[in-house]
Amino acid sequence: MSCRLAPFVLALALGLAGPAWAVDEPAKPDVPAAEAPKPNVEAPAQPDEVFGQEVTLPERTIIYLQGHSTWDNALDTLVDAFKSLNEFLAKQGITPNGPPMTIYTQTDDTGFNFRAAVPIAEAPKDPPKGDIAVGQAPSGKVLKFVHRGAYDAMDSTYEAIINYLDDKGLEAKDAFVEEYSSGPLKADDDTLLINVFVPVK
């Protein structure tokens, strides 16, 4: 399974894929297990890091670019979306108030809908138009899972999340979030620190 399918696999496990989901997101073609790539570089977990730690996300105002991507172009699409969003923020003189994040909203067999988002202190007086909008990030109690390393090694993290939920008998709800704590998402960055937030019932 390729890293481009990781969010979709989690969405399937959470029951989020398909028309019933509220926000649009990725879908996955069948890929034989034998073709699954080995994870690239992954930094070791920190001693105080808990996989599946329960945390509470605060209410946050975000400015986001809503988009759609096929699975084949997932990473490139997200990188381009954040580039466009950052250019808009710079042009408008808006300062981010937290790390960038991707909010996955809906998936199907061919692709996914997403929100490439950045927290801001307050909504701008002149609201953006078109694909860029202002809204609220997911908030409330969630489980936090940490991925360290290249984005193309995300599959192993998502598989571990699915196994964790199964082992604990937990049922997830709504959309999930990837938060890029180490900075902007980059295709060739093998030092990424990504927090995956999964809300559970």
Q: In this predicted model, what pLDDT tens digit does every residue of 26-39 receive, in sequence order? A: 333 344 434 434 33
Residue 178's domain comprises 3-198
What is the distance between the alpha carbons of residues 81 and 116, in angstroms, rounded to a whole number? 6
Tokens in use for 65?
A: 């670019």
Query: Angle of helix 154-168 relative to helix 6-14, nearest 10 degrees?
Result: 10
Average pLDDT over residues 173-177: 81
User: Looking at 38-42, 138-142, 146-150, which range is the least confident one?
Assistant: 38-42
User: Looking at 33-37, 68-72, 187-191, which range is the least confident one?
Assistant: 33-37
Which has more confidence, 9 or 104?
A: 104
Longest Cα–Cα distance of the chain, Å, equals 53
**CA 104 from chain center: how many Å?**
6
Instruction: Tell me the CATH number at 114.
Output: 3.20.80.10
Residue 59 burial (CB count, 10 A): 9
Which residues, including other chains, have CB under 8 Å from residue 161's CB and lie 6 or more apart? 10, 52, 145, 196, 198
Output the pLDDT for position 84: 94
Burial 6-36 (b: 16+ CB within 10 A, else e): bbbbbbbbbebbeeebebbbbbbeeeeeeee
pTM value?
Answer: 0.78
What is the distance between the alpha carbons of residues 144 and 44, in angstroms, rounded to a whole number? 16
Rounded mean pLDDT of the chain?
Answer: 79
Q: Is the pLDDT of residue 92 over 80?
A: yes
User: pLDDT tier at 173 (50, 70, 90 boundaries)?
Assistant: confident
Beta bridge partners of 118: 63
Instruction: Report which of 64, 107, 70 is spatially closest to residue 82, judged by C-alpha positions.
Output: 64
DSSP of 115-140, one letter per residue? EEEEEESS--SS---TTEEEEE---E
Number of structural domains (the chain) is 1
Burial 146-167 (b: 16+ CB within 10 A, else e): bbbbbbbbbbbbbbebbeebee
Percent of the chain past pLDDT 70, that is, above it, reads 76
**CA 38 from chain center: how many Å?**
21
User: pLDDT tier at 4 (50, 70, 90 boundaries)?
Assistant: very low
Q: Is the pLDDT of residue 17 over 50?
A: no
Output the pLDDT for position 195: 96
